[in-house]
Structure 1
Amino acid sequence: MKLCFKLKLMPQHRRIRCHFPPAPRLATAAAAKRMAESRRIPTISELPIPTSPATPIGITAGPDGAMWFTENFANKIGRVTTAGLFTEYTIPTTASEPAHITTGPDGALWFTEAVGNKIGRITTSGTITEYTIPTADSYPWGIAPGPDGNLWFVETVGNKIGRITPSGTITEYALPTSDVYAMRITPGPDGNLWFTQPLGNSIGRITTSGTITEFTVPSSGAMPIGITTGPDGKLWYTDANGKIGSLTTSGTFTEYSLTDPDSFPWGITVGSDNNLWFVEQSANNVASSSITGIINEYAMPTVVSGPFDIAAGPDDNLWITEDYVDKIAIVTP
Structure 2
Amino acid sequence: MPVLVEEFAVIERSSGPYALVTGPDGALWFTLVHSGSIGRLVPGEEPTSHQLDPECGPTVITVGPDGALWFTEHRAHHIGRITLDGKITEFALPTAKCGPFGIAAGPDGALWFTETAADRIGRITPDGRVAEFPLPATGAFPSAITAGADDGMWFTLNQANAIGRIGMDGAVSLHALPTESAAPVGIAAGHDGALWFAEIGAGQIGRITLDGLITEFPLPDRTSRPHAITPGSDGNQWFTEWAGNRVGSIAPDGTITVLDLPTAGSEPHGITVGPDGALWTALEIGALARISSPRTPAARRDLSARPA
TM-score (norm 1): 0.86
- 1:120 to partner: Cα distance: 0.3
Residues 161-200 of structure 1 correspond to what in structure 2 (within 5 A)? 161-200=121-160
Alpha-carbon distance between aligned partners in 2 of 1:274 and 1:133, rounded to the nearest angstrom: 37
- 1:85 to partner: Cα distance: 2.4
Task: Please name the residue that 2:106 is paired with.
Answer: 146
- 1:51 to partner: Cα distance: 2.3
User: Letter of the aligned partner of 1:47 in structure 2?
Assistant: F
User: Letter of the aligned partner of 1:299 in structure 2?
Assistant: D
- 1:50 to partner: Cα distance: 1.6
Task: Please name the residue that 1:208 is paired with.
Answer: 168
Alpha-carbon distance between aligned partners in 1 of 2:12 and 2:94, rounded to the nearest angstrom: 32
Report whether the alignment pairs 1:123 with 2:83.
yes
- Which structure shows the higher helix fraction? 1
Report whether the alignment pairs 1:90 with 2:51.
yes
- Residue deviations 1:284-305 (CA, integer Å, cap 9, x gap): 0000110111100000011000
| 8 Å CA contact retained: 1:52, 1:74 | no
Report whether the alignment pairs 1:264 with 2:235.
no
Alpha-carbon distance between aligned partners in 1 of 2:175 and 2:181, rounded to the nearest angstrom: 14
Alpha-carbon distance between aligned partners in 2 of 1:133 and 1:183, rounded to the nearest angstrom: 17
2:13 match: secondary structure? coil
How much identity, in percent, do the aligned residues show? 41
User: Letter of the aligned partner of 2:37 in structure 1?
Assistant: K
Indicate the structure whose relative CO is greater, using CA pairs within 8 Å and at least 6 residues apart: 2
Alpha-carbon distance between aligned partners in 1 of 2:100 and 2:24, rounded to the nearest angstrom: 23
Alpha-carbon distance between aligned partners in 1 of 2:140 and 2:45, rounded to the nearest angstrom: 38
Runs of 4 or more, structure 1, over 6 Å off, are: none
Task: Please name the residue that 1:310 is paired with.
Answer: 271
Report whether the alignment pairs 1:219 with 2:179.
yes
| 8 Å CA contact retained: 2:35, 2:54 | no
Alpha-carbon distance between aligned partners in 1 of 2:20 and 2:197, rounded to the nearest angstrom: 17
Which structure 1 residue ranges, 5 or more long, are not aligned? Answer: 1-39
> What RMSD in Å do the two structures reach over aligned CA positions?
0.9
1:53 match: secondary structure? helix
Across the two proteins, how many residue pairs are aligned to each other?
292
User: Letter of the aligned partner of 1:83 in structure 2?
Assistant: G
Alpha-carbon distance between aligned partners in 2 of 1:192 and 1:41, rounded to the nearest angstrom: 38
| 8 Å CA contact retained: 1:47, 1:84 | no
The counterpart of 1:62, out of the listed 23, 39, 57, is 23
Task: Please name the residue that 2:301 is paired with.
Answer: none
Alpha-carbon distance between aligned partners in 2 of 1:290 and 1:78, rounded to the nearest angstrom: 31
User: Letter of the aligned partner of 2:69 in structure 1?
Assistant: L
Which structure 2 residue ranges, 5 or more long, are not aligned? Answer: 294-308
| 8 Å CA contact retained: 1:180, 1:199 | yes
Q: 1:89 to 1:211 in 2, by over 3 A?
A: same
The counterpart of 1:296, out of the listed 257, 264, 275, is 257
Task: Please name the residue that 2:207 is paired with.
Answer: 246
Alpha-carbon distance between aligned partners in 2 of 1:94 and 1:266, rounded to the nearest angstrom: 24
Task: Please name the residue that 2:282 is paired with.
Answer: 321
- 1:82 to partner: Cα distance: 1.8
TM-score (norm 2): 0.93
Task: Please name the residue that 1:160 is paired with.
Answer: 120
Alpha-carbon distance between aligned partners in 2 of 1:84 and 1:290, rounded to the nearest angstrom: 32
Alpha-carbon distance between aligned partners in 1 of 2:3 and 2:249, rounded to the nearest angstrom: 10
- Residue deviations 1:302-326 (CA, integer Å, cap 9, x gap): 1000001101112111110001x11
Alpha-carbon distance between aligned partners in 2 of 1:87 and 1:133, rounded to the nearest angstrom: 28
| 8 Å CA contact retained: 1:197, 1:225 | yes
Alpha-carbon distance between aligned partners in 2 of 1:320 and 1:161, rounded to the nearest angstrom: 26
- 1:94 to partner: Cα distance: 4.1
Task: Please name the residue that 2:296 is paired with.
Answer: none
